[in-house]
């Protein structure tokens, strides 16, 4: 459990944030320079806020009024940086075990072998860092932080310095990690894809202040969060469970609070939890139930809100049981007469739905 | 490329002009003087400059070091040595004009101690110099291998029959002033320097004097350096040997040798 | 091959150089770390003072040592009375003189080496639970090793050549303080000793060259290990 309430003057603006975060993955999202890294550095003890208080698991690590400031090595945090920062003179194995001797009370004790397994590091153990690829180095950095028995894991855009292929390579490892470790994680990113795949809680930052905080699905469906919505790949995150599989057409039906979605086949037993992401631009709206149309997913709903218009497009939030975002042209909205309260059908192409596997802890 | 060549020639000529001293009209005199006599020479030089307007620069070091430098072409006009040996070496090589070599000053060898521990110790045959050094003290003196004051000291100690006792308890200094410094700082309980050196320091006291017959006569010789002879330096040399210089040297404690 | 006298001179020089560097090394590492990694009021002054032996005439350094560490010196008297340590006219004094003259070279080389280490790696180590001391011992020191090695050897070579401060502080005592440079100086004052001088000069050069070659080799081996490239 982390409680953060800090202020610090950061050049162009003042950082002033206050939030609590529990188990699971908490994502800090915002554009570059919004203050995300500063917050994480403050939690880690690498930056001293001007004022405030930080409490980790009931231990006060920083308090400006009582002048408490625990140095980084005594806070029990693991930190995965953007740059791997591996120790060049130590083998992968010795990098991984560097933090094992951290003095600590009842901190979780992940086993060396399980972490090596989880991150696929077994063939790399005796190598020196300079002989690893970027993706491999980052995996070692993650393993190293996890194995140092932290009470909290901080990750500052750990995939930012990797190319798309590497990122795609590591993301599954991260997913497994977040799922298997009972470790609170604070994950900084400006990549919405990572957040939607990994995070449970989303905190949105804009110029040093928290503009939204809450569960990922709820936050991603909001129309008013400029940093989120301005993206070309803005979309909604849904959680659901597998209802049935269609072996003939290789499809899976997923049940969620808004009904059912048919998606390309996903492995897993019936009842397994899933996380889905639907990009707003893959959602269409019809004012009458269409026939003779290829889209398999037609969900009835009511328009709850219209977003601000931005040049050609405008976002529409439709409530199908849970909110879903659709990105339409202003012309369509105008010609169809779409307005809050209107009953419509939401059309989502099966092939456009992104699926991540998110079994509960 | 004639412009370039003309440029190069001009630079070359300028360098040559700067480096080579015009012969004849030389207003500066450079004296190489043994460390122990340098202050007295400087005092005499001041009087000389006041009378004639000619600048005299005195460079002081151990006699041996100065001789080495003159052999290797140092631009000194006059050499004043603290020991005739080095003068002969230079004479053999024609570096100094032996026909104009003159005995200038005499001196006396004394035993000194730091003021706080100055008990009289008479340098007589077999005197208790080793005992006076204590369990781990050393006798400071100019290096007996090459510093004139050290050479005389070794002769005196040998003549008095105590050299073998103290030979392994020496602190051979680079020049006699350094030896004086060791005693003045209390680093060495005893030292052997010239009387004129002892007079220069408030921190040491003379505890005994070596009889003149225990060592070769201490003789400071002056001679012009052949290669760099000039009218001005000849004038200064004559001044040094004249009665006008006697009071200054005797004030420092030297024995003035030239008889006029 | 070498006369017993020459052997004595060489051994003394090696002994003086060895101790000068050995004692100076931990102090130099500490000073280099302070200058490279911390800031404090008066840092520029400390930096300047540490470099003084490089720019001040060696004889002045020797005289200063005499004043401070001699029998009557502020520090010297204390050391003598309390610990019975004396530097007067012995090889230890010669080692101190050499060590002081060579110290700035060691500090410079080590400081550059530490500054070249990415501080972010040190920060990462702290997040893994390492105290600043552990970071220094396990990260900074190993990565600075090439610079430490070359600084040490440079200092050793400088010690071998030290003259002015030595002769002013502890005089020229055969077997105690007559190191190679002082021995050469003594010979130079006596005419007709050119052959002996040449022998000693060649020995000096040989030792210095050997030291430099060994240091180059060691530095490269260590740097390669750190980088992991084949040496």
Cβ–Cβ below 8 Å for C191 and B89 = yes
Residue A325 vs residues A78, A310, A328, B137: alpha-carbon distances, Å:
36, 15, 10, 97
Q: How many domains are contained in chain B?
A: 2
Evaluate if residue A358 carries a pLDDT over 60: no
The set of residues, in sequence order, having a beta carbon less than 8 Å from that of B117 and lying 6+ positions away, is B189
Q: Does any CB of chain B come closer than 8 Å to the CB of residue C191? A: yes
Task: Please name the member of C89, C171, C189 whose beta carbon is closest to the beta carbon of B68.
Answer: C189
As a whole number, mean pLDDT of residues C210-220 equals: 83
Looking at residue A225, the DSSP 8-state letter turns out to be -
In chain A, what percentage of residues exceed pLDDT 70? 95
Asked if residue B58 and residue B70 are part of one domain, the reply reads: yes
- Would you state the CATH architecture of domain A2-220? 3-Layer(aba) Sandwich (3.40)
CA distance A187 to A209: 17
The interface pTM score, or ipTM, of the predicted complex is 0.82
Class level of CATH domain A235-357: mainly beta
Query: pTM of the full predicted structure?
Result: 0.79
Cα angle for residues B148, B149, B150 (degrees, 5° grid): 85
Q: What is the least distance, in Å, from the CA of B181 to any CA of chain C?
A: 9
- CATH number (domain holding residue B247): 3.40.190.10
The tokens describing A176, both together, are 């497994």
B150: nearest Cα among B70, B217, B83, B208: B83
Chain C segment 199-228 residues within 8 A of A by beta carbon are 225-228
Phi, psi (5° rounding) for residue A154?
A: -110, 135
Cα angle for residues A58, A69, A214 (degrees, 5° grid): 45
CA distance B208 to A296: 122
The set of residues, in sequence order, having a beta carbon less than 8 Å from that of A301 and lying 6+ positions away, is A258, A318, A319, A320, A321, A324, A343, A344, A345, A346
Chain C segment 13-32 residues within 8 A of B by beta carbon are none
H or E segment and range at residue A138: helix A134-147
Q: What is the pLDDT of residues B186-245, one digit of tens each?
A: 999 999 999 999 988 999 999 999 999 999 989 999 999 998 888 899 999 999 999 999
Nearest CA in chain C to A79: C127
Residue A118 is predicted with a pLDDT of 82
Cβ–Cβ below 8 Å for C186 and B146 = yes
The set of residues, in sequence order, having a beta carbon less than 8 Å from that of B9 and lying 6+ positions away, is none
For chain A, give the mean pLDDT: 87
**Residue B181 CB neighbour total at 10 angstroms:** 21
By residue range, what is the domain housing residue B195? 109-214
Residues of chain A with CATH 2.40.50.100: 235-357
Chain C segment 95-154 residues within 8 A of B by beta carbon are none
Residue A340 DSSP SS3: coil
Max intra-chain CA distance, chain B = 82
HEC string of chain C equals: CCCHHHHHHHHHHHHHHHHHHHHHHHHHHHHHHHHHHCCCCCHHHHHHHHHHHHHCCHHHHHHHHHHHHCCCCHHHHHHHHHHCCCCCCCHHHHHHHHHHHHHHHHHHHHHHHHHCCCHHHHHHHHHCCCCHHHHHHHHHHHHHHHHHHHHHHHHHHHHHCCCHHHHHHHCCCCCCCCCHHHHHHHHHHCCCCHHHHHHHHHHHHHHHHHHHHHHHHHHHHHHHHHHCCCC
Identify the segments of chain B with pLDDT beneath 70: 1-2, 6, 9-10, 12-26, 260
H or E segment and range at residue A28: strand A25-29
CA distance B245 to B256: 9
Would residue B19 count as lying in a domain?
no
Q: What is the pLDDT of residues A19-56, one digit of tens each?
A: 988 888 999 998 877 788 999 999 999 999 999 999 99
Where does the pLDDT of residue C181 fall: very low under 50, low under 70, confident under 90, or very high at 90 and above? very high
Max intra-chain CA distance, chain C = 69
Q: Which residues of C touch B145 (CB under 8 A)?
A: 186, 189-190
Residue B87 vs residues B66, B82, B93, B148, C123: alpha-carbon distances, Å:
11, 9, 10, 11, 70
Would residue B91 count as lying in a domain?
yes
Evaluate if residue C167 carries a pLDDT over 60: yes
Would residue B147 count as lying in a domain?
yes
Where does the pLDDT of residue A5 fall: very low under 50, low under 70, confident under 90, or very high at 90 and above? very high
Q: Does any CB of chain C come closer than 8 Å to the CB of residue B62? A: yes
Would residue B21 count as lying in a domain?
no
Task: Please name the member of C88, C189, C191 whose beta carbon is closest to the beta carbon of B187.
Answer: C88
Q: What is the least distance, in Å, from the CA of C227 to any CA of chain A?
A: 6
Task: Please name the member of B68, B172, B178 whose beta carbon is closest to the beta carbon of C173.
Answer: B172
- Would you state the CATH architecture of domain C4-227? Orthogonal Bundle (1.10)
Q: Which residues of C touch B136 (CB under 8 A)?
A: 86
Residue A361 is predicted with a pLDDT of 35
- For chain C, the residue count is 231
Q: What is the DSSP string of A34-80?
A: SSHHHHHHHHHTSS--SEEEEEETTEEEEETTTTEE--GGGTTEEEE
In chain C, what percentage of residues exceed pLDDT 90? 67
The tokens describing B185, both together, are 């700082």
Q: What is the DSSP string of A102-129?
A: ---SS-----HHHHHHHHT-GGGTT--G
Task: Please name the member of B138, B145, B147 whose beta carbon is closest to the beta carbon of C89.
Answer: B138
Long-range contacts at B85-88 (CB < 8 A, ≥ 24 apart):
B85/B148, B85/B151, B86/B148, B87/B221, B87/B223
Where does the pLDDT of residue A222 fall: very low under 50, low under 70, confident under 90, or very high at 90 and above? confident
CA distance A7 to A208: 9
Residue C58 is predicted with a pLDDT of 93
Selected residue of C113, C122, C125, C127 to mutate for chain A interface (largest A Cβ count, 10 A): C127
Residues of chain A with CATH 3.40.50.300: 2-220
Q: What is the pLDDT of residues C14-30, one digit of tens each?
A: 999 999 999 999 999 99
Cβ–Cβ below 8 Å for C172 and B138 = no
The set of residues, in sequence order, having a beta carbon less than 8 Å from that of C167 and lying 6+ positions away, is B173, B174, B178, C62, C177, C182, C185
Asked if residue B113 and residue B97 are part of one domain, the reply reads: no
| Burial profile A65-80: b = 16 or more Cβ within 10 angstroms, e = fewer | eeeeebebbbbbbbbb
């Amino acid at each position: 459990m982390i409680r953060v309430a800090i202020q610090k003057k950061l050049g162009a603006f003042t950082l002033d944030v206050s939030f609590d975060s529990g188990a699971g993955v908490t994502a800090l999202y915002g554009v570059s320079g919004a203050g995300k890294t500063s917050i994480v550095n403050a939690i880690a003890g690498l930056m001293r806020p001007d004022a405030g208080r930080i409490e980790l698991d009931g231990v006060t690590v920083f308090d400006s009024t009582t002048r408490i400031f625990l140095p980084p090595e005594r806070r029990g945090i693991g930190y995965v940086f953007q740059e791997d920062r591996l120790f060049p003179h130590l083998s992968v194995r010795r990098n991984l075990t560097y933090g094992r001797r951290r003095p600590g009370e009842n901190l979780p004790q992940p086993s060396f072998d399980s972490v090596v397994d989880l991150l696929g590091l077994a063939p790399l153990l005796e190598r020196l860092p300079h002989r690893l690829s970027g993706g491999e180095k980052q995996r070692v950095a993650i393993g190293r932080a996890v194995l140092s028995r932290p009470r909290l894991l901080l990750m500052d855009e750990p995939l930012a310095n990797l190319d798309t292929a590497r990122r795609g390579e590591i993301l599954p490892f991260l997913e497994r990690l977040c799922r298997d470790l009972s470790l609170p994680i604070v994950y900084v990113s400006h990549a919405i894809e990572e957040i939607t795949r990994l995070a449970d809680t989303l905190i949105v930052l804009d110029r040093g202040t928290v503009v939204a905080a809450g569960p990922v699905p709820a936050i991603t469906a909001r129309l008013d969060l400029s940093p989120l919505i301005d993206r070309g790949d803005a979309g909604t995150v849904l959680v659901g469970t597998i209802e049935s599989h269609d072996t003939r057409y290789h499809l899976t039906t997923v049940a969620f609070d808004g009904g059912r979605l048919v998606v390309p086949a996903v492995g897993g037993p019936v009842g397994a939890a899933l996380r889905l992401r639907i990009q707003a631009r893959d959602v269409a709206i019809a004012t009458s139930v269409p026939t003779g149309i290829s889209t398999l997913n037609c969900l009835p709903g009511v328009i709850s809100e219209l977003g601000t218009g931005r040049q050609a497009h405008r976002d529409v939030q439709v409530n199908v049981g849970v909110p879903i975002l659709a990105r339409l042209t202003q012309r369509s909205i105008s010609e169809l007469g779409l307005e809050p309260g209107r009953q419509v059908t939401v059309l989502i192409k099966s092939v456009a739905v992104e699926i991540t596997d998110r079994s509960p802890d | 490329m004639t412009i370039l060549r003309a440029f190069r020639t001009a630079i070359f000529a300028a360098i040559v002009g700067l480096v080579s001293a015009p012969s004849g009209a030389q207003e500066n005199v450079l004296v190489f003087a043994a460390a122990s006599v340098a202050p007295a020479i400087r005092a005499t030089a001041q009087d000389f400059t006041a009378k004639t307007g000619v600048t005299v620069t005195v460079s002081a070091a151990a006699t041996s070091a100065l001789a080495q430098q003159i052999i290797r072409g140092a631009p000194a006009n006059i050499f004043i040595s603290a020991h005739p040996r080095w003068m002969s070496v230079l004479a053999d090589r024609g570096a100094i004009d032996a026909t104009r070599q003159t005995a200038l000053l005499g001196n006396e060898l004394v035993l000194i101690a730091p003021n706080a521990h100055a008990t009289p110790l008479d340098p007589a045959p077999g005197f208790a110099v080793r005992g006076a050094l204590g369990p781990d003290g050393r006798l400071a003196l100019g290096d007996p291998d090459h510093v004139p004051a050290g050479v005389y000291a070794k002769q005196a100690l040998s003549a008095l029959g105590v050299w073998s006792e103290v030979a392994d308890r020496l602190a051979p200094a680079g020049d006699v002033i350094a030896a004086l410094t060791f005693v003045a700082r209390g680093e060495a309980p005893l030292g052997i320097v010239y009387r004129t050196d002892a007079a220069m320091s408030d921190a040491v006291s003379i505890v005994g004097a070596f009889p003149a017959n225990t060592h070769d006569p201490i003789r400071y010789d002056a001679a012009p350096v052949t290669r760099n002879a000039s009218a001005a330096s000849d004038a200064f040399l004559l001044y040094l040997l004249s009665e006008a210089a006697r009071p200054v040297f005797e004030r420092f404690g030297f024995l003035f040798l030239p008889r006029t | 091959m070498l006369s017993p006298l020459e052997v004595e001179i060489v051994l003394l020089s090696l002994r003086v150089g060895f101790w000068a560097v050995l004692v100076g090394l931990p102090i130099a590492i500490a000073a280099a770390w302070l200058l490279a990694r911390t800031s404090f009021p008066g840092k520029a002054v400390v930096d300047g003072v540490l470099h003084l032996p490089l720019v001040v005439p060696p004889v002045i350094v020797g005289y200063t040592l005499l004043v401070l560490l001699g029998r009557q010196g502020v520090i010297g008297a204390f050391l003598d009375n309390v610990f019975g340590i004396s530097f007067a006219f012995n090889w230890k004094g010669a080692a101190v003189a050499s060590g002081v003259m060579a110290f700035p070279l060691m500090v410079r080389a080590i400081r550059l080496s530490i500054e070249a280490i990415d501080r972010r790696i040190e920060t990462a180590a702290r997040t893994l639970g390492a105290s600043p001391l552990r970071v220094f011992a396990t990260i900074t020191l190993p990565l600075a090793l090439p610079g430490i090695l070359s600084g040490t050897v440079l200092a050793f070579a400088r010690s071998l050549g030290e003259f002015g401060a030595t002769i002013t502080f502890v005089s020229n005592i055969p077997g105690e303080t007559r190191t190679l440079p002082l021995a050469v100086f003594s010979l130079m004052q006596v005419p007709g000793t050119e052959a002996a001088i040449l022998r000693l000069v060649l020995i000096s050069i040989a030792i210095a060259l050997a030291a430099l070659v060994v240091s180059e080799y060691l530095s490269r081996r260590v740097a390669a290990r750190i980088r992991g490239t084949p040496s």
